[in-house]
Amino acid sequence: MRPALVAACLLFLAPITGSVWATGSHVVMDPWMVCKKARKMRGKLADICRNETELLKQVARGQAKGVKECGYQFRARHWNCTAQRRSMRRILLKDTRETGFVNAITAAGVTYEITRACTAGKLVQCSCDKAKGGGGGGGPIGGLSGNAALPPGDWQWGGCGDNIRYGYRKSRDFMDARYKRRSDIKILIKLHNHNAGRLAIKNYMKPECKCHGLSGSCTLKTCWLKMPTFREVGNKLKDEFDGATKVISSNDGKSFMPEERSIKPPNRANLVYTENSPDFCEANLKIGSLGTQGRHCNATSQGVDGCNLLCCNRGFSQKTVNESVNCRCRFKWCCDVTCDTCIDRRVVNTCH
């Protein structure tokens, strides 16, 4: 190993072993392993590994963020995006809708954290774009695209906007640079879904404005672009997951098209996949399924969290648990809060 790289790796490893490592998100794409493999390479990825330690930290944080959001969005599904090593690794070797979602949400997480670090001034290589409120890129409306709406009335760009262009580019440099064989359908799909994840932020930048002038008279209004919340990004990608398109390789092998001709071709923001998902009802580690045995379900819901669906009609057992909770809290002048202890009875249903 070259000295510069050793230093970068060690610096980089320290924060990861503490937090991100423990969540198991390294299974998705361990930046340290990626850098280890990249050490003999040239190009953007190798440059990032060599001398952008702070950026690598944001990559790791972004992945953890993506996996966490995946767990939230899939909390009531048969496969709940658990970051358990074997399950996630198997899922990522496939090319199902779940694979596509994980790839998209982690690429989005990386974009998000890099952009946020940039705005916070943590990265020496970038800053928020004061001129165009961070969106940047030609024309008076800067990087506004997608569903972003411009504020009405008189205003001008100002303040410190989120530099989404930088986050987008660096996420792509790090996550996509390794994949050279663009004629492999699985790689095409992975890159497409990575990009769809990044667009779930880039296309939904929102203007935020501030009034200036005597006692809020708003004689001057400045606006900048801000990222949506990561929950909004997750919701958007979950919608894309629900409407994902099954595709097949085109004749030239360099693109793909919907398996069913009647379906409209996916756009850049849509998720795509080539393999049908298993039902994840029974544990089968070969396919990354932990099964739904032992999962908690809702006996009155008809949705995916309902006991029939979640337990795959195997039935469930019901148990009442008593939980002590704080209740009837009172504020006493000054400055104390006292509460009683109440017993909260809850019914817990567990899948057979």
Ligand X SMILES: *[C@@H]1O[C@H](CO)[C@@H](O)[C@H](O)[C@H]1NC(C)=O
The yes or no reply on residue 308 touching ligand X (CB under 6 A) is: no
- Binders of ligand X in range 118-177 (CB under 6 A): 125
In this structure, what is the dihedral angle of CA atoms 45, 47, 53, 54, given to the nearest 10 degrees?
A: -80
| Nearest distance, CB of residue 132 and ligand X, angstroms | 23
Kindly report the number of other CB atoms within 10 A of residue 66's CB atom: 32
Among the listed ranges 49-57, 153-161, 212-220, 309-317, the one in contact with ligand X (CB under 6 A) is 49-57
Residues in 274-293 at the binding interface with ligand X, rule: CB under 6 A = 290-292
Contact 66, 28 (CB under 8 A): yes
Backbone φ and ψ for 67, nearest 5 degrees, come out as -65, -40
Q: Is 42 exposed, middle or buried (0-12, 13-18, 19+ CB in 10 A)?
A: exposed
Closest to 105 measured CA to CA, from 53, 70, 72 = 70
Is there binding between residue 322 and ligand X (CB under 6 A)? Answer: yes
Q: Which of 5, 21, 39, 82 lies at the binding interface for ligand X (CB under 6 A)? A: 82
300 binds ligand X (CB under 6 A): yes
In 3D, which of 26, 41, 2 has the Cα closest to residue 180? 41
Residue with tokens 């309902």: 306
Considering beta carbons, is residue 52 or 162 the nearer one to ligand X? 52
Among 36, 50, 186, 221, binds ligand X (CB under 6 A): 50
d(CA 326, CA 3): 56
Contacts of 152 (CB under 8 A, 6+ apart): none
Q: Of residues 295, 307, 309, 316, which one binds ligand X by CB under 6 A?
A: 295
- Specify the residue, 4 or 220, whose C-beta has the smaller distance to ligand X: 4
Closest CA to 209 of 153, 162, 151: 151
Rounded to a whole number of angstroms, the minimum distance from the CB of residue 293 to ligand X is: 7
| Closer residue to ligand X in complex, CB, 19/84 | 84
Specify whether the CB–CB gap between 51 and 11 falls below 8 A: no
- Amino acid identity for residue 185 in this structure: I
Q: How many residues bind ligand X (CB under 6 A)?
A: 19
Q: Which two tokens stand for residue 181?
A: 């064989």
Give the residue with the Cβ less far from ligand X, 258 or 291: 291
Q: What is the closest distance, in whole angstroms, from the C-beta atom of residue 24 to ligand X in the complex?
A: 12
| Residue 44 within binding range of ligand X, rule CB under 6 A | no
Q: Is the four-CA dihedral 181, 184, 188, 194 of positive or negative sign?
A: negative
**Looking at beta carbons only, is 47 or 173 nearer to ligand X?**
47
Binding to ligand X in span 241-260, by CB under 6 A: none
Give the x/- contact pattern for ligand X in 62-81, rule: CB under 6 A: -------------x----x-
Binding site for ligand X (CB under 6 A): 47, 50-52, 75, 80, 82, 125, 290-292, 295, 298, 300-301, 320, 322, 343, 345
